[in-house]
Amino acid sequence: MQKGILSNSQNSPLKFLKEGESIIVGVHSIDEFVTADVISAYNPIRNESIFLPVNIKSAYDNGSLYEKASELLWNDYNEAVAKYGAKSVETKEILSKINMIKPQKYIYFGFKDINTNEDVVLSMGIALKKNDHAKAGNNLLTTLKKSAKFIDKYPLELTKGAMGNWNVIPYMDDLTPEQQKAFDSISEIDIETYEACMFLSTPETELENMIKFSEATGFDLSRIGLSKQETLKTDNSNKYGF
């Protein structure tokens, strides 16, 4: 995403479906989506989030704390491989920390909900490299492409399945006048609609998230020029060169 400042709005069109839930939508184009980089951290041992997903404008935004920590951890990893081997406990422990804060690509699909006549956005992970395991975004994009010939004639019924799968079928029931009006008014979604679905990782957010990451993993904040005690007291002015 390079078209503006990303921020989340209380009136965000972002919608989350549970497994088995459906939504009936009109589609302007099979290419009606954007992609953005997301960083989050999850502790698999304690089964809890370390910090919630945040968007960054590009993979490792210039000078981010995430990047600085990741570079140090990769150095630690390479040293551990040389010393203990790639399959050692020490090496796997470092790799686990790296995986916690590396960017993931997310795709944001834009639709028109014909029952509310409002734009809605569905967000999910996507794998862009050929050899990477397909994610929910790949699955939905594939099924949408198979339905491309229907989008001018019928709305689509999207149903969230298990394990990141999606079921997409043409919705051929008779439309109410309100539904028909919504379907006929489908147009390209502006970039501001997508931006309203995103949480930009600001310097303050990075600071808070790295403190949480340190508390969860034992990563030494002083390695990236931060002291936990100092960061808790700072007013987040330009003390750390942001």
pLDDT confidence bin for 118, thresholds 50/70/90: very high
Cα–Cα distances (Å) from 214 to 39, 48, 50, 129, 144, in that order, read 15, 15, 10, 30, 41
pLDDT tens-digit profile of 126-171?
998 878 888 999 999 999 999 999 999 999 999 999 988 999 999 9
Per the structure block, which two tokens stand in for 1?
């995403």
Residues in the chain: 242
DSSP 190: P
Compute the average pLDDT of residues 15-24. 94
Please give the full DSSP string across 209-238, using - where no structure is assigned.
HHHHHHHHH---GGGGT--HHHHHH--SSG
pLDDT tens-digit profile of 168-187?
999 999 999 999 999 999 99
pLDDT confidence bin for 241, thresholds 50/70/90: very low
pLDDT tens-digit profile of 32-89?
999 988 888 888 778 889 988 888 765 555 678 888 899 999 999 999 999 999 999 9
Cβ atoms of 194 and 121 closer than 8 Å: yes
Instruction: Kindly tell me the burial class for residue 69, based on how many C-beta atoms sit within 10 Å of its own C-beta (0-12, 13-18, 19 or more).
Output: buried
Give the pLDDT score at 57: 63
pLDDT confidence bin for 231, thresholds 50/70/90: low
**The pTM is what?**
0.77
pLDDT tens-digit profile of 79-107?
999 999 999 999 999 999 998 888 889 99
Residues with Cβ within 8 Å of residue 109, at least 6 apart in sequence: 32, 33, 121, 122, 123, 137, 140, 141, 144
Residue 199 has pLDDT above 90, yes or no: no
Give the separation between CA 122 and CA 237, rounded to whole angstroms.
35
Give the pLDDT score at 10: 54
Give the separation between CA 24 and CA 154, rounded to whole angstroms.
10
CB atoms within 10 A of CB 187: 9
Per the structure block, which two tokens stand in for 192?
């501001």
Give the separation between CA 201 and CA 67, rounded to whole angstroms.
13
